[in-house]
Amino acid sequence: MSKKLQGNLNLNTIQLKKGELLTEVEELCGENLFGCYQCGTCSAGCPFVDEMDLSPDEVIRYIILDRKEVLNSKTIWLCSSCFTCAERCPRDINITKIMEALRQIILRKKIDRTNIKNITKDEKETIPQMAFVSLFRKNVG
Amino acid sequence: MPLKTYDKKKDHDLGIPLEDDYFYEEPEEIIENKDAPQLESTIQTVTQRAEKIKKRVINADVLVVGAGISGMQAALDTADKGYKVVIIDKTSTIGGAMVKLDKTFPTNDCSICTAAPKMVELSRHPNIELITYAGINNLQGKPGKFKAQIWRKSKYVDPDKCTGCDDCAEVCPVEIVNPFDEKLSTRKAIYIEFPQAVPIVYTIDYDACIGCGSCDRVCEPEAISFLEKSEEIEVNVGSVILATGFEVFEPTEMRKEYGYGKYDNVITALQFERLLSSFGPTEGKVKRLSDAKIPKSIGWIQCVGSRSEQLGFPYCSRVCCMYATKEASIAKEANPDIDITIYYMDIRAYGKDFQQYYDHAKDLGVKYIRGRPSSVYENKDKSLTIKYKDTLTGEIKEDTVEMLVLSTAIKPNEENKRLGEALGIEVDENGFFKQQELLTDPIQSTREGVFLAGCIQGPKDIPDSVSMASGAAAKAVAPIKDRERHIGKEFPPEKDVKGKKPRIGVYVCHCGKNVANYLDVEKVTEEAKKLPNVEHAEHIMFVCSEDSCKKIKEAIEGKKLNRIIVAACSPRTHGGLFQDTLMEAGLNKYLFEMANIRNHCSWVHSDDWDAATEKAIRLVRSSVAKARGLEALSEEEFSIYPATLIIGGGISGMKAALALADMGIKSIIVEKEKQLGGRLTNLHSMFPSDTKTEDILNPIINKIKKNKLITVMTDSELDKLEGYIGNYKGTIKQKGKTMEIEFGTIIVATGFREIDLKGKYEYGKNDNIISQTELETKIKANKLKEPKNVVMINCAGAMEEERPYCCRVGCGVAIKNAKLISQKYPKSKIYMLYRDMRVFGKEEEEYFAEVLKKHHVTMIRYPGDKKPGIILDKKDPKKGSVSVKVYDDILNEEMTLPADLLVLTVNTEGGAATEKLKNMLKVPVDAAGFFIETHAKIKPLDFSTSGVYMCGAAHYPKNLVDSIAQAEGAASRAAIPIAQEKMKGEGIVSEVNEALCRGCGLCESACAYSAIEMKPHPQDPSRMLAEVNRALCKGCGSCAAACLSSAIEQKGYKSDQINVMIAALCEKGKAK
């Protein structure tokens, strides 16, 4: 009975077998997720946490429990890679890298839904350019 | 007018002798007063000093480095056995970190009140030489023949002349930050650390002193001497005990996000402890540092620096959860309106009564939030906002508190590396001292003859430090056991007071603020003065301090006092100390009376100044009334049979026997099973080093078998016991046969067992549901089949209404067994359901983290009110797989886990023999079947019945390392009476008036200590007569109360003595 997540990715397209999510993430980010004590420091310090459907510590918990639906979480795309979580984690886990690993799992399947044409004129004028740069960089790995 | 010039040479602190610490160009006295005699005396002084330059050599038996609670215990334990001890401390006093604390968990005993008597006892011990303000520079030689170089820094104050009057500190113009108060206050360049310091001698802080000479001018006893030089002392000893303690992490560089050092109202827990202390900077009132306002809300952040792999320390600091709980409860009890929150990751309430203490704090209203705050920022009103995630509700929140306390890590002393080099012993990667064998010899350092005690090899609480210190004393005696022993203190001959008019001295104690803040000590003193026979009455800040005791002695001499009354705290803790003072002054120690105006007045009537004062006056009055009729009592001397009986042949019992044998003392191990080894026999291996149990047991059992001083009796049990300390006779039953043995002391090492779950968690109904012990036995016998899914449930039968305690070892055992399964069957998936992960201290925490990472154990936290449910297979409930329903506390959802192996971490209780032993030994046992020690903090190994001691899991479940430290400690305690060869009994005993005794025997049945026996009257054998065994009698008075013909009187508490006390209490006083 997991949380309702906001993404609408068809998880079958990812083709991860049982238990493979964790191995894949660990291979991509080089972090040992089992070192996490679930203390919540990363989540409390995250500047975007209010918008997230899963908080960063919950993302780690989902991976440990082999819940592939974590890939459908908005969190991994909201993460702006500011490294605050990584800086403060007492267990020295680089959560930012974990987020990147999750994004990579999707992107390497050539699933990219960024559609520049859909950005309205209004948005183009108000959103800082840096944000667009970050977004594109993030989405192409 | 500069008096002196000098270069501040750092060498001074490094312990390198200087030519001269202070160099006078022209001493002031000489300029002012140039007549010859003055000059001559100055020359004389200089010559005397020059003679002192010759290196002092002390020959002793044991050197103890560090005089905190561990060092003090080690020194006292060694000295009590008759060996000469030199103890040094780098500060100008003794007491270490414990005296900085306000109270101690879980009993909330006043910390200084339990430490101070030990400090005074140490300074008065005839076998102990105390050298403060000193360090060790070098250690040469081998066990039995060590040569240590001690560097004693000059205090520039003559200890024999200083009276501790504080005149010097008042005039000193220099103020520096006070490290004793954790930088919360300032002190002068001439100072004592705290009011109860031992020795009570002022010290000039060389680095801070500007050399103005003000102190010298006001010092009436002329104690200050700038010519006093630092000296090198050579100490020849047989062994060395190291107990230099720990430091507390200051989160200025690391963990900056919590704002320590930046925001005024963020403090460390040790600073908070100073705020609570009655002799701290705020005299016990918790105030904000920014504006001295009383905070309405306080927050605690746990694990600041601890359990950290990033910046900080990877280990758990072991005591923070409990001290934060203690500090929070004290603050809450003092002010119920205050809002208190503790932010934690796991609450490690692992020790005896800790869980109950934690539950009590929750009942008081202390809020516990599981979540480690991310950052802290300061608001305009200097309050602090904490950002955190409540991991149990999933909410990201901000709380604002008016004061924030950081529970910072215990870290190794900065100096350890230098000390390690000087002593030739190794430190580990964190900077703590290394043990030679972590599991089996935790007290032995990497150099033979050098032993470790207390926090120097990892964080520890007070009882664990004290046990270990006793253990170190046992080990330190081994190389010197055959040396000459010096027992007892020589007291001057007793003055005969019989028939003399009572001359009573009354001393009223402020106890810092403990008494003086709640009642009028001055008025109590004035009222006492008016009473007949009172020749002297005064009130003193701390009557138990060394200089006050000196004052009492002087008054006994000068004013010819022959009865002394101290109105202060409890005679249980302080009576002996004052009795020693009386004996030193030539008075019989029973001419002393204590009025407990702290517990009975200031504590219970803290809200009513007048009533508390009135009650104190009456208590003093009744003590005076009794004191008029006090008489000198004599004590019975009896010999000690030189052997110890050890009940239980597990690892603790065996280690105790070996430690005794090393001290040259015989022992008899009585083991109920066929072989030695206890619980360890059935276990597979021990964490954190994963050593196989047979590799631990076999060498020890072999050593025991070879040792001629140890007699082993297996298949046996103690059936009957008679006698008393020093003279026990026991009947041992061995395979149907019985035999009698004699011994002088007893060590109880009966261990623990898993509780009967009575079908909880479907235990016993399915073959796949087993306990941790059963699992280990299976692994050991290689009978564990490969499981697909393993679920472990921790805290089965623990921390609930019926058994409210934590089993202390469960988490560690579960983690180790998870590793064992995973190593053997890497494909098995392991889930561990837990409530709080209590892998405390050094090594355990790191072991836990390592197992999680390497073996991918999935941790699931479940709430105490939603215990996991077990569903048996419908088709095959006996052999089929089970599933476990668990509520995940972090994700707030229920999960169902399949399990073909379900392991229960079952709670524990006292061993099977407890009930029988309890009655035989006349010792108390708690609800869980564990034996109760005399004092939870400073006497963890002793029973109230003298001559009987305990160790290992009989006291409370314990891991191997703690059990061994305790076993060696218990051996040390049990060896003391044997080393002393003779002991003295109580003076307060029952006495039978033969003329009045009817021989009815009521007293015999009333006596709980079997001290009374009915015997035929020597002159008239047809008549029976009660006879009191003076060695067994504890002076409880039950017999006196039971006697119908008033034929029994209890000495010191005779009927007429009590009657006058009651009359004096009820007498209507003039004082209102």
- Domains of chain A and any CATH numbers: 15-139 (1.10.1060)
Backbone phi, psi, residue B536, to 5°: -150, 135
Neighbouring residues of B312: CB distance < 8 A, sequence distance ≥ 6: A90, B249, B254, B255, B305, B306, B409
Pairing mode, strands B239-242 and B450-452: parallel
Asked if A3 and A70 touch (Cβ cutoff 8 Å), the reply is: no
Whether B396 and A35 lie within 8 Å, measured CB to CB: no
Residue whose structure tokens are 């992107």:
A107
**Closest chain B residue by Cα to residue A35:** B853
> What is the C-alpha to C-alpha distance for residues A70 and A6, in angstroms, rounded to an integer?
10
pLDDT at B34: 46
Amino acid at A49: V
Asked if B578 and B566 touch (Cβ cutoff 8 Å), the reply is: yes
pLDDT at residue A12 is higher than 90: no
pLDDT in tens, B112-125: 989 988 998 898 89
Whether A39 and B372 lie within 8 Å, measured CB to CB: yes
B819 touches chain A (CB under 8 A): no
Q: Specify the higher pLDDT residue, B45 or A35.
A: A35
Name the DSSP class of B932. Answer: P
Helices (H), B665-732: 693-706
Q: How far is A133 from chain B (nearest CA, A)?
A: 28
pLDDT at B11: 43
Neighbouring residues of B171: CB distance < 8 A, sequence distance ≥ 6: B214, B215, B217, B218
> What is the C-alpha to C-alpha distance for residues B350 and B322, in angstroms, rounded to an integer?
9
In this complex, the residue of A22, A45, A92 whose CB is nearest that of residue B387 is A45
pLDDT at residue B1071 is higher than 50: no
Pairing mode, strands B62-65 and B56-59: unpaired
Q: What is the mean pLDDT of residues B75-101?
A: 96
Backbone phi, psi, residue B416, to 5°: -55, -35
Interface of A with B in 18-47 (CB under 8 A): 22, 32, 34-35, 37-45
Kindly report which listed range (A87-101, B1-15, B407-421, B687-701) carries the lowest average pLDDT score.
Answer: B1-15
Residue whose structure tokens are 């009993």:
B107
Phi-psi map region of A66: left, alpha, beta (phi>0 left; psi -120 to 50 alpha): left
**Closest chain A residue by Cα to residue B390:** A40
Mutation pick from A1, A31, A33, A37 vs chain B, by most beta carbons of B within 10 Å, is: A37
Mutation pick from B374, B390, B861 vs chain A, by most beta carbons of A within 10 Å, is: B374
Q: Specify the higher pLDDT residue, B500 or B22.
A: B500
User: What is the CB neighbour count within 10 angstroms for residue A1?
Assistant: 7
> What is the C-alpha to C-alpha distance for residues A68 and A16, in angstroms, rounded to an integer?
8
* Closest among B689, B88, B801, B893 to B422, alpha carbons compared: B88
Give the pair of three-digit tokens for residue B1062: 């009651």
Cα distances (angstroms) measured from residue B748 to each of B77, B983, B987: 19, 21, 28
Asked if A136 and A114 touch (Cβ cutoff 8 Å), the reply is: yes
In this complex, the residue of B372, B861, B890 whose CB is nearest that of residue A41 is B372
**Closest chain B residue by Cα to residue A88:** B374
Give the pair of three-digit tokens for residue B51: 């003679």
Give the pair of three-digit tokens for residue B462: 């007070």
Asked if B254 and B76 touch (Cβ cutoff 8 Å), the reply is: no
Q: Which regions of B143-238 does DSSP assign to beta strands (E)?
A: 145-152, 175-177, 186-188, 190-191, 203-204, 231-237
Q: What is the mean pLDDT of residues B885-908?
A: 96
Give the pair of three-digit tokens for residue B599: 């517990």
Confidence band for B49, pLDDT divided at 50, 70 and 90: low
Mutation pick from A25, A43, A63, A96 vs chain B, by most beta carbons of B within 10 Å, is: A43
Backbone phi, psi, residue B59, to 5°: -105, 120
pLDDT at residue B52 is higher than 70: no
pLDDT at residue B22 is higher than 60: no
Q: What is the mean pLDDT of residues A69-86?
A: 92
Instruction: Report the first-to-last Cα separation within chain A, whole angstroms.
Output: 32
Q: How far is B822 from chain A (nearest CA, A)?
A: 15
Confidence band for B668, pLDDT divided at 50, 70 and 90: very high
pLDDT at residue B5 is higher than 80: no
pLDDT at B23: 44
Contacts of B896 in chain A (CB under 8 A): none
* Closest among B416, B413, B405 to B301, alpha carbons compared: B405
User: Rounded to the nearest 5 degrees, what angle is found at the Cα of B1028, between the Cα atoms of B1023 and B1029?
Assistant: 130
Contacts of A92 in chain B (CB under 8 A): 308-310
pLDDT in tens, B590-602: 999 999 998 899 8
For residues B869, B873, B876, B878, the Cα torsion angle rounded to the nearest 10 degrees is -10
pLDDT at residue A134 is higher than 80: no
Q: Specify the higher pLDDT residue, B923 or B824.
A: B824
> What is the C-alpha to C-alpha distance for residues B437 and B451, in angstroms, rounded to an integer?
12
pLDDT at residue B669 is higher than 80: yes
Confidence band for B69, pLDDT divided at 50, 70 and 90: very high
Whether A43 and B396 lie within 8 Å, measured CB to CB: yes
In this complex, the residue of B257, B852, B891 whose CB is nearest that of residue A61 is B891
pLDDT at B162: 83
DSSP B458-514: S---HHHHHHHHHHHHHHHHGGGTTS----S---PPPPP-TTSPP-EEEEEE-TTTT
Q: What is the mean pLDDT of residues B908-920?
A: 92
B827 touches chain A (CB under 8 A): no
**Closest chain A residue by Cα to residue B303:** A90
Query: Which element (helix H / strand E) includes B1030?
Result: none
Mutation pick from B389, B828, B860 vs chain A, by most beta carbons of A within 10 Å, is: B389
pLDDT at residue B237 is higher than 90: yes
Neighbouring residues of A51: CB distance < 8 A, sequence distance ≥ 6: A74, A78
Cα distances (angstroms) measured from residue B433 to each of B415, B419, B688: 11, 10, 17
Give the pair of three-digit tokens for residue B433: 């001292």
Q: B484, exposed or middle or buried, with CB in 10 Å at 0-12, 13-18, 19+?
A: exposed
Whether A34 and B375 lie within 8 Å, measured CB to CB: no
pLDDT at A3: 75
Whether B389 and A2 lie within 8 Å, measured CB to CB: no
Return the axis-axis angle of helices A129-140 and A95-107, rounded to nearest 10°.
Answer: 70
pLDDT at B16: 43
> What is the C-alpha to C-alpha distance for residues B118 and B65, in angstroms, rounded to an integer?
17
Task: Check whether the bond before B195 is cis (ω within 30° of 0).
Answer: no
User: What is the CB neighbour count within 10 angstroms for residue B975?
Assistant: 31
pLDDT at B36: 47
* Chain centroid offset of residue A100 CA: 6
Name the DSSP class of A80. Answer: -
pLDDT at B569: 86
Confidence band for B606, pLDDT divided at 50, 70 and 90: confident
Query: Which element (helix H / strand E) includes B339?
Result: strand B339-344
A2 touches chain B (CB under 8 A): yes
User: What is the CB neighbour count within 10 angstroms for residue B13?
Assistant: 12
Asked if B834 and B859 touch (Cβ cutoff 8 Å), the reply is: yes
Confidence band for B20, pLDDT divided at 50, 70 and 90: very low
> What is the C-alpha to C-alpha distance for residues A6 and B499, in angstroms, rounded to an integer?
97
Averaged pLDDT score across all residues of chain B: 91
> What is the C-alpha to C-alpha distance for residues B120 and A59, in angstroms, rounded to an integer?
58
* Closest among B906, B911, B907, B943 to B930, alpha carbons compared: B911
> What is the C-alpha to C-alpha distance for residues B781 and B799, in angstroms, rounded to an integer?
32
Task: Check whether the bond before B699 is cis (ω within 30° of 0).
Answer: no
* Chain centroid offset of residue B520 CA: 32
pLDDT at residue B247 is higher than 80: yes
Among A3-12, B953-962, B979-988, name the most confident range.
Answer: B953-962
Buried-state track B281-313, b at ≥16 Cβ within 10 A, e below 16: bbebebebbeeeeebebbbbbbbbbbbbbeebb
Q: How far is B885 from chain A (nearest CA, A)?
A: 13
Give the pair of three-digit tokens for residue B209: 């002193």
B308 touches chain A (CB under 8 A): yes
Phi-psi map region of B847: left, alpha, beta (phi>0 left; psi -120 to 50 alpha): alpha
What's the per-residue H, E or C state across B991-1024?
A: EECCCCCCCCCHHHHHCCCCCEEEEECCCCCCCE
Query: Which element (helix H / strand E) includes B412?
Result: strand B410-412
pLDDT at B858: 96
Query: Which element (helix H / strand E) includes B982?
Result: strand B982-984
Asked if B757 and B905 touch (Cβ cutoff 8 Å), the reply is: no
Q: What is the mean pLDDT of residues B283-291?
A: 93
User: Rounded to the nearest 5 degrees, what angle is found at the Cα of B982, between the Cα atoms of B980 and B985?
Assistant: 120
Asked if B318 and B432 touch (Cβ cutoff 8 Å), the reply is: no
Q: What's this model's pTM, rounded to 2 decimal places?
A: 0.86
Q: How far is A43 from chain B (nearest CA, A)?
A: 7
pLDDT in tens, B163-221: 777 889 999 999 999 999 999 999 999 999 998 888 889 999 999 999 999 999 998 88
pLDDT at B41: 65
Q: What is the mean pLDDT of residues A79-107?
A: 93
